[in-house]
Amino acid sequence: MSERPTAAELAEAILEFLGGEILPTVTDRRLRFRTLVAMNALSIVYRELEKLPPEDDAAQRALAARIRAGDVPPGALAEVKRDVAERLRIASPRYLETYAEAASE
Amino acid sequence: MIAEMREVLQSVLGTALDGEPHLLAGGASKEAWAVDAGGERLLVRRAAVGVIHRHTLSLADEYGVLEAAHGAGVKVPRPIAYIPDLDGREAFVMERLDGETIGRRIVRMEGVPPQLPTQMADELARIHAIPRDRVPFLHEARLERMVEEFDEVGEPHPAVELGLWWLREHRPPPREPVVVHGDYRIGNLVVRAGDGLVGVLDWEFAHVDEPVRDLAFSLVRAWRFGVPEKRLGGIGDAEPYVERYNELTGFDVRADEVDYWEVAGNVGWAIGCLTQMQRHLSGRDRSVELAVLGRLGAEVEYEILHLLEQKGVT
C-alpha cells in the first residue's frame, strides 16, 4: 500500500528541521557534534529509503475510482477498514486502543 | 519592529501602551500579541509572514465578522480597531479575554463547567441568527468543494471515497443557509472555570452554509481531545446541546441530520489533513507538523469507517 508522505519524505522533513531550526540554536560544542552525527545517521536512513522501489498503489487507485463511480464492491468497508488499521499500527498505534471494538481485532 | 508596532498601536488606540507588546505562542498562520494600553488588556491579531491561505478570510473581513458577531450579542472579544498596515502586515486589535483556550486543557479542567454544552448551543444559535446583510462579503460554501480539494491532492484513499459516497447517497434535504463560524469546536472557545464559555474565537473560516454542518462540527472525534466517549468535544453528550439549539432556533434538527454532518465533518478533516500535507510536499510550506498530518489522517479515516459501519454499511 502506498502512503504519503513516504518514509523517505518523512526522514527528509526531519533532516530539514534539524539542520534549519535546531542546529543553529545548539551552542554546546559536544551537543552540536552529536547532533551532526545524528543528522548524518538520519541521512543514511533517508538515502536507503529513497532507493526502495515505489510501492504499487494500482489496487488502491482502482478501488478508489470504483467507489467514486458509485460502484461499491460488497465487503469494501471491512476490507478498507483492515487496511486503515494496518496503516494506523505504523502511524499511530495507540489510537486504535481508543476504540473498544479494535481491542479485540 | 516592536518600536514601530508600538508607535502605530499608540496612534490607533490614542493612548500610551503599558509595557512592551509580547508575542504569544502558537498560531502558524496568524501572530497574536498581548498588549496592555490605557488599563485594558488587548490582543493584536496580525498576519504571519509568507502564509497564503485559500478559503480563509482576510484579517479585514475577519474583523468585519467579529464586529457583526459582537453586534448580534455573541460572546466574543470586543473588537477595537482594524489596522491595514502594522509594520508591513494587516492586523486588528480586540479585547484579550481571560480563560482557557487550549482544547486539551479544557476537557481536563477541574470540573468542566456543567453549563458548557448548553452555552455552546446558545452562542451558536446567536451566530446563526446574524443577518447575512451584515456580512455581505462572506461566500457560500458547497460541500462539493472538499471533493475538489481532495482531487487536487491526487492520492488514492478508499476510506475517504467511501465517506464521500455515503454523503452523496444520504444527503438530507437542504436547509436555508446561514452565517456560520466554520470552525466551531472546543479548541476555539475561551472557557473559565466558574463562568463556562466566555468567548468564541478564530473566525477566519466564517462563511454562509448549512446550519447543521456548523452544529455537528464540534462532534468530530479529532476535536474530543483524548476523551472520545464524550461526543460533544470531549466535554459532554450531544443531545442536550442539540436540544438547546433546537429550542432557540426552532430548526427542529433531527438526530440523523446531526449524524450526517458529523460524518461530513470527519471527511472534511481527513481531506484537510491531506491538503496540509500537500503544503509541505509541494515545497510551499516545509514543516514536519504538516508532513506528519498526511499519516495521522488515517485516524480520521478509521473514524469515518467506524461511523459508516454504525450506519449499516458493510
Residues A50 and A81 in one domain: no
Q: B127, B181 in Cβ contact below 8 A?
A: yes
Residue of chain B whose Cα is closest to the Cα of A3: B295
Exposed / middle / buried, residue A84 (Cβ in 10 Å: 0-12, 13-18, 19+): buried
**Structural domains in chain B?**
2-95 (3.30.200.20), 103-310 (3.90.1200.10)
Task: Please report residues of A whose CB lies closer than 8 A to that of B159.
Answer: 80-81, 83-84
Last residue of a domain, one of A55, A73, A93: A55
The C-alpha of B124 sits at a distance from chain A's nearest C-alpha, in angstroms, of: 29
Start-to-end C-alpha separation, chain B: 59
pLDDT in tens, B293-311: 999 999 999 999 999 999 9
Residues A49 and A77 in one domain: no
* Alpha carbon distance B136, B68 (integer Å): 11
Separate counts of helices (H) and strands (E) for chain A: 6, 0
A39 close to B (CB below 8 A): no
Put simply, the answer to whether A95 touches B155 (Cβ < 8 Å) is no
pLDDT in tens, B107-145: 998 878 899 999 999 999 999 999 999 999 999 988 888
* Alpha carbon distance B107, A67 (integer Å): 37
The C-alpha of A28 sits at a distance from chain B's nearest C-alpha, in angstroms, of: 24
User: In this predicted complex, what is the ipTM?
Assistant: 0.93
Residues A49 and A62 in one domain: no
Domain that holds residue A80: 57-105
Closest CA to A91 of B297, B24, B201, B25: B297
pLDDT in tens, B272-299: 999 999 999 999 889 999 999 999 999 9
Does residue B26 have a pLDDT over 80?
Answer: no
Among B155, B290, B302, which would you mutate to test the A interface (most chain A Cβ atoms within 10 Å of its Cβ)? B302
